Amino acid sequence: DIQMTQSPSSLSASVGDRVTITCRASQRIGRLLNWYHHKPGEAPKLLIYGVSTLHSGVPSRFSGSGSGTDFTLTISSLQPEDFGTFYCQQSYSSSITFGQGTRLDIK
Amino acid sequence: QVQLVESGPGLVKPSETLSLTCNVSGTSISSGGYYWSWIRQHPGKGLEWIGYIYYRGNTYYNPSLTSRVSISLDTSKNQFSLEVKSVTAADTAVYYCASCREVPAAAPFDFWGQGTLVTVSS
């Protein structure tokens, strides 16, 4: 299986902060990388697919970048509703895997 | 917009079979373009892909679960189902169904159900 490792595992930030979450794959996965946002008690939501394409309706403060093995999710100006856990996911392998998640708390 | 709703027992006894159904609306599961998926989240843990089924019936499973898992389609009811055999407490989780787009190549899970908690206990 391709292992996906996210860092940090958790962070706390203030409204208006710029937040960056990284995801590293155990082997090269091209651009087959997606990001999700999951709030407790809700369904996970697709944020970004194919490294950098925003899903319909996702605010432009979210952006993604990277290629090969190293990827980044950036929130340009953190909003109160952005709390929750963020996951990366690779679809390069037929055995799909997610990162362990990054929990984001609002200070 | 695709909508998915999971249903099934919330409590399953050890060694028995867990069975869940996902009802799909907003699209026909037989029309193509999607892999119909199951994903679970153990308590306090991250997301684990279980497997998915293509509209033509091709199935793909997580290698760690493939001996116990089965996913099937019921096109007459526009729903798909999950079975996990010989369950243990380690199968206690919130189970989500999701649609996985065939295109683009990144095949994202673009719509998800709300999830259903399944507890394995005697």
Q: Does residue A6 belong to the interface with chain B, where contact is any CB pair within 8 Å?
A: no
Query: What tens digit of pLDDT does each residue of B5-49 get?
Result: 999 999 999 999 999 999 999 999 998 889 999 999 999 999 999
Query: What secondary structure does DSSP assign to B35-65, as a single string?
Result: EEEEEEE-TTS-EEEEEEEETTS-EEE-TTT
- The residue type found at B14 is P
Q: Is A91 a residue whose pLDDT tops 90?
A: yes
- Mean pLDDT across B89-116: 94
Q: What is the CA radius of gyration of chain A?
A: 13
What is d(CA A59, CA B9) in angstroms, rounded to the nearest whole number? 37
Q: Does residue A95 belong to the interface with chain B, where contact is any CB pair within 8 Å?
A: yes
Cα–Cα distance list, A19 to A7, A10, A22 (Å): 12, 12, 10
Chain B residues with CB under 8 Å of A91 CB are 105-108
Residue A98 to residue B48, Cβ atoms within 8 A:
yes
Predicted pLDDT at B31: 87
Tokens 């249903």 sit at which residue? B7
Query: What tens digit of pLDDT does each residue of A66-79 get?
Result: 999 999 999 999 99
Residue B114 to residue A1, Cβ atoms within 8 A:
no
Question: Tokens in use for B89?
Answer: 């407490």
What is d(CA B21, CA B97) in angstroms, rounded to the nearest whole number? 9
Per the CB < 8 A criterion, the answer to whether B73 and B67 are in contact is no
What is d(CA B15, CA A105) in angstroms, rounded to the nearest whole number? 39
Least confident of A55-64, A88-97, B15-24, B97-106: B97-106
